Structure 1
């Protein structure tokens, strides 16, 4: 109640309050930077408030760390994972809660207990998670499921899910939703933070909306249309516009890929992209879309194939090769692959482009700060100071920093891997405007997105992938949700086109 928190010059929370009842799934909504994650971290003791109090079951509680969370039966899943990559799935699920015998970890009991916890999710999935495999070897989606299982192992009476579905595919989201409903029916109070409003309406009864650190309303979702919810979140009416459009075929081919193969994930990928074109990568998630972007960025070794930029063959043995040829990647996991979280905003946004502003090996700090401020203003990044740690920014503003650092290198080709994952609708529209400006300036954008509406809104064409191959292309009148879903599910049919090459 009345929570206040300031990080340097940024007011994260300004008297924020909410109430979540036992057995309720309560949504906490707002634009990026509105204070949602900060409020969640106050409840779990990760962040100490400057003022205000937290009441659990009617009592004022001082929460300062994991011991208090265990005592109060609070568990949380945050946007950034808290897993240890070198430990197994089972060891991560029961981290700091391992069963012991005679002072030593009881391995058999550990495997059994972890398997029981994972079964709560696996019973709704089509597979089991590998108990004995190091979690660092799992896909981002499976790592997210392990993080969720870790929270479930605490048998929480209060569960906070902060963008817990951002990395999950549709059937995995459905599995989590089933578990949430079970917990709610058993009396667990659940605070649900998500930018996917469909999930919010599907799961939650009420929603508290934050804007600029202040609560602007708590609503009954059954009585609140989505347009009204968006207006509360942003202060304006927002509509996802159809921005993609057919590009003139007279523009030169900027990127050509022929017969690209990567062992275990890509098979005979061929495509062309013209200057000033957005090419979407569609299909069921996990069919090679991210792998294709990583291969183009030189992050996956090519077993075969040819890549040309502006008509000249290029060798992409490592990311430095791609960057040198003007091809850059905004990765799907900004925390681990896109940013140095302990470093400042200034360092993160200017590091890749230092050579563009150096003279005879010398750098001007003032030029660096001017370039950073210009890009932050262009992308409308909310930041207190250039010297603040990038970790203090909201998820959406962190993502804009990742985009901005590459734009400062003046690229020709921008590879976007799920760029708006965990980003609110207002920040999405701002990023969409940036993509549109880049397309008008002649850049090629290759876009992978787990959000079909985003692909349709931005793409001039969509290449549909299945098992590492391009199986269809959507353009013109076929750029519809029905066609995209149909092409994604039309597996093994006579409509499949092997090794397609598109202009």
Structure 2
């Protein structure tokens, strides 16, 4: 196996990036060689994708030193990255559906003759690679509209588009996630050919078996920092998981034994829709259930479907009664509340007063003969401010004046005033500081102590360890395993997330 020269073709040092109160990268470093497939590993939120996007020019770091071939470079945009020979493929599709397959393949690098676009030259460039991928693509014609292809075919077109640019460095960030087993094998054969021709490939996958089969070395990130670079031939999957997790098993966790007679509050059977493939679950009163697995496996879609924000088929029962949830209004009527992941666009009216934001979801509970009573509204808002220990100036201040943690408390307070029985939390501590996190955990414990059921999706495995009684691990829109009680550890969560799907890419 050729691993190229020992001198790195790529070096990244001191890479830091902060999003509000969250430090996505904290002095991360990476050194990769020409002629190698270099894995990037780490648990959810470790900084893998952010590091790749810094290299690809789509994220501007706060600090970074980047060298290509020993020369210091600045990468301020995707165009600058492409000019330096960096190409990237992500899990999120970016094909243009109204253009043909051929036009998508040469987009941005269209061959010309005498200053004019040349279709003959474009075909000469692209058709050999289409033929090379035909075993994975199936019946795909160059003139066919890309929007009529399946998601896996579109993903292969994305990969082919990047390869056609003959990159010096190719980033594959979860680019095989939507591919079937046979398609993955074709891509791997192509990647090995690129490696042997001297290309450096940075590879991110949620399937650990893919990393073991394809990569020569791997760099492991944890909490935005680089913790190790290892030779794949000299390690094991178990050692990789232990390195990813680190010595962090002592997360403060108050394990509670639920009463045996705790009633079942929520039952879901075969929920199917966008991003969901027959999800079933039950949840009892007073229970915190986590949604684990790599991000993007249907966790947010499940919460959105249960809240009626997206359409899904299946059966939902609340307190034993089958209910129809076709909209958020119907969900609220059945005692279901959602604290969304993006509070700025989904949870708050930033320019409106704190009081309005707090009371808007529960106005009907306090109205008298259909009319609002200002004194009641103000008293309810003040009661919630005190209960959640919000630090505010006044109730008439705009919610945009609050810190991230206090703004998130407003979202919680808005829904607590509806007296919910089922509380859905989509990454509820995203972008808040460690102190605010602790206060949000206290709110969660208060909810379940009062008999509510909480279902939480988190981008931090440590958070699931801290607050959950059970964790359902999702993969490709389905619940694939369950971890209960004291068995919930970061190491087990990471291992389950990475190993689910080994040998089971859907046909």
TM-score under structure 2 length normalisation: 0.59
Q: Distance in 2 between matches of 1:133 and 1:53?
A: 41
8 A Cα contact 2:146 2:154, kept in partner: no
8 A Cα contact 2:408 2:428, kept in partner: no
Q: Distance in 2 between matches of 1:270 and 1:30?
A: 26
Q: Distance in 1 between matches of 2:75 and 2:502?
A: 46
Which residue of the other structure, out of 167, 174, 188, is the alignment partner of 1:163? Answer: 174
Aligned position for 1:449 = 475
Which residue of the other structure, out of 372, 386, 390, is the alignment partner of 2:408? Answer: 372
Matched, 1:179 2:215: no
Q: 1:345 to 1:56 in 2, by over 3 A?
A: farther
Aligned position for 1:383 = 431
Whichever of the two has the greater Rg, that structure is: 2
Matched residue of 2:76: which SS? coil
Per the TM alignment, residue 159 of structure 1 is displaced from its structure 2 partner at its CA by 0.6
Gaps of 5+ in 2: 1-11, 292-296, 367-373, 382-394, 413-424, 485-500
8 A Cα contact 1:77 1:147, kept in partner: yes
Q: CA RMSD in A?
A: 5.9
Q: 1:126 to 1:93 in 2, by over 3 A?
A: closer
Deviations 1:229-250 (A, max 9, x none): 33332322779xxx9xxx9899
TM-score under structure 1 length normalisation: 0.59
Q: Distance in 1 between matches of 2:502 and 2:236?
A: 26
Which residue of the other structure, out of 208, 212, 225, is the alignment partner of 2:219? Answer: 208
Matched residue of 1:32: which SS? coil
Aligned position for 1:499 = none
Q: 1:38 to 1:253 in 2, by over 3 A?
A: closer
8 A Cα contact 2:37 2:195, kept in partner: yes
Q: Distance in 1 between matches of 2:198 and 2:204?
A: 19
Q: Distance in 2 between matches of 1:272 and 1:29?
A: 30
Aligned position for 1:221 = 232
- 1:421-500 pair list within 5 angstroms: 427-428=460-461, 430-431=463-464, 436=469, 449-450=475-476, 455-458=480-483
Per the TM alignment, residue 24 of structure 1 is displaced from its structure 2 partner at its CA by 0.5
Gaps of 5+ in 1: 281-285, 331-337, 387-396, 440-444, 460-483, 492-503
- 1:276-287 pair list within 5 angstroms: none
Q: Distance in 2 between matches of 1:328 and 1:129?
A: 47
Q: Distance in 2 between matches of 1:311 and 1:300?
A: 22
Once structures 1 and 2 are overlaid, which stretch shifts more, 15-24 or 110-119? 110-119
Q: Distance in 1 between matches of 2:27 and 2:403?
A: 38
Which residue of the other structure, out of 228, 233, 253, is the alignment partner of 2:244? Answer: 233
8 A Cα contact 1:328 1:411, kept in partner: no
Matched, 1:17 2:43: no
Aligned residues: 413
Per the TM alignment, residue 19 of structure 1 is displaced from its structure 2 partner at its CA by 1.7
Per the TM alignment, residue 218 of structure 1 is displaced from its structure 2 partner at its CA by 1.6
Q: 1:415 to 1:132 in 2, by over 3 A?
A: farther
8 A Cα contact 2:266 2:316, kept in partner: no
